[in-house]
Amino acid sequence: MARDSGIWQNSFIFISVDFNFSLRPKIKRQQLQQRQGTKTGKKKKMHSFGYRANALLTFAVTILALMCAIASLSDNLNTPSPSAQIEILNINWFQKQPHGNDEVSLTLNITADLQSLFTWNTKQLFIFVAAEYETPKNALNQVSLWDAIIPAKEFAKFSIHTSNKYRFIDQGHNLRGKEFNLTLHWHVMPKTGKMFANKIVMSGYHLPEDYR
Amino acid sequence: MIVSSALIIWKGLMCITGSESPVVVVLSESMEPGFQRGDILFLQMSKDPIRTGEIVVFNIQGRDIPIVHRVIEVHEQRQSGEVRILTKGDNNDVDDRMLYAQGQFWLKQEHIMGRAVGFLPYVGWATIIMTEKPIIKYILIGALGLLVITSKD
């Protein structure tokens, strides 16, 4: 490194100046000291390559982190206004499993407009529909019935006809005549930064009184 | 410069988020296309109960690497307030019961290390490379050591 060679140069100069001291007369000592001063004390130091690379890298990483933070903060400026409706078209079947847990299969019609949730910093929207209900044993049960990934704004306005992707199984046999909410949740997954999540709760759905 | 500031940020994050490991690297493709291998996730652990849809990081007994998946079922018991959680990776077809320990059907709040609240793409690749090809880790440490010895700071 330049600093290394500088030290060697300095020692070389010291040695040569020392040599001169012993041989030259005293009158010229002041002049020699002045020269010594400019060569050693006030020598202009250049930063080494390693030092500069290190400083550049740190600066670049800091700026990148700052840009990611600003991108994430810009998501807060967006005021979304999503809307959704879910309709139960049919209860396909409703049975008690061999282990004693209730299970129900539904066909749903899910209509939603989630276009306002997309910003320039959004990579995708993860949405899912969950059934929420309570039972004597459990204060809250949330069972996810269906989910989807919306990769872009064009796909965010949709209407889909589907049976439940995941099994709706209770911990127990409490589902007969049960009243439950259907919630549409969405998770905004950004290109970088903070993730947001929210939901719309739709209530007033019932399960039939008897098994079918 | 860069190493010391990284260390300060790490320790600071540990204090702010209240979690023992505030940053994790995504190692598998089970959450694609949302999270790719090499992304890092910022975690936070609060006392709020876990609810469906949250992306959580948890450890299974007998496995050392933490798993990052989404919660798809929550059953909260009335008496004890205890929650039973079922998770699934977005890109997987089945839920995680196969991954849990023998005889374990649900996760509990204590198994969860944190919730993912933020995300940075690609930054975790350095960690993945160093774990999968440890020779690179040794080369880096050797080079850093050499730098420390030979610099005249």
Q: Chain A contacts of B77, Cβ < 8 Å?
A: 137-139
The Cα A161–Cα A5 span in angstroms is: 76
Of A3, A4, A58, the CB nearest to B1: A58
Instruction: State the smallest CA–CA distance between residue A20 and chain B in angstroms.
Output: 29
Among B72, B147, B151, most A C-beta atoms within 10 A, so best to mutate, is B72
Residue A4's pLDDT band, with cuts at 50, 70 and 90, is very low
Q: Chain B contacts of A168, Cβ < 8 Å?
A: none
**CA atoms within 13 Å, Cβ hemisphere of A58:** 12
**Spatial contact of A164 and A95, defined as CB atoms under 8 Å apart:** no
Q: What is the pLDDT of residues A179-201, one digit of tens each?
A: 888 999 998 888 888 888 888 89
Taking Cα atoms as reference points, which of A64, A66, A70 lies closest to residue A119?
A: A70
Taking Cα atoms as reference points, which of A29, A8, A180 lies closest to residue A108?
A: A180
The Cα B76–Cα B83 span in angstroms is: 4
**Spatial contact of A119 and A74, defined as CB atoms under 8 Å apart:** yes
Instruction: State the smallest CA–CA distance between residue A175 and chain B in angstroms.
Output: 14
Distances (CA, A) of A144 to A21, A167, B38, B53: 90, 8, 28, 8
* Per-residue confidence (pLDDT) for residue B149, from 0 to 100: 74
| 8 Å CB contact of B77 and A139 | yes
Taking Cα atoms as reference points, which of B23, B67, B65 lies closest to residue B44?
A: B23
Q: Chain B contacts of A144, Cβ < 8 Å?
A: 52-53, 72-73
Among B75, B90, B152, most A C-beta atoms within 10 A, so best to mutate, is B75
| 8 Å CB contact of A171 and B54 | no
Q: What is the pLDDT of residues A22-64, one digit of tens each?
A: 555 565 666 666 655 555 555 667 777 878 888 888 888 889 8
Say whether residue B139 is in contact with chain A using an 8 A CB cutoff: no
| 8 Å CB contact of B53 and A185 | yes
Q: What is the pLDDT of residues B64-82, one digit of tens each?
A: 788 889 998 888 888 888 8
Tell me whether residue A108 is exposed, middle or buried, using C-beta atoms within 10 angstroms of its C-beta: 0 to 12, 13 to 18, 19 or more.
buried
Q: What is the pLDDT of residues B100-153, one digit of tens each?
A: 888 888 888 888 888 888 888 887 787 777 777 777 777 777 877 777 777 655
Residue A11's pLDDT band, with cuts at 50, 70 and 90, is low
Taking Cα atoms as reference points, which of A94, A70, A116 lies closest to residue A174?
A: A94
Q: Which residues of B are catalytic?
A: 30, 69, 96
Is ipTM > 0.85 here?
Answer: no
A-facing residues of B in 19-78 (CB < 8 A) are 33-35, 51-55, 70, 72-78
- pLDDT higher than 80, residue A143: yes
Of A123, A128, A192, the CB nearest to B34: A123
Chain A residue closest to B36 (CA)? A191
* Per-residue confidence (pLDDT) for residue A27, from 0 to 100: 59
User: Among positive and negative, which fits the CA dihedral B111, A170, B94, A126?
Assistant: negative
Q: What is the pLDDT of residues A68-124, one digit of tens each?
A: 888 888 888 888 888 888 888 888 888 888 887 888 888 989 898 888 888 888 888
Give chain A's mean pLDDT.
Answer: 80
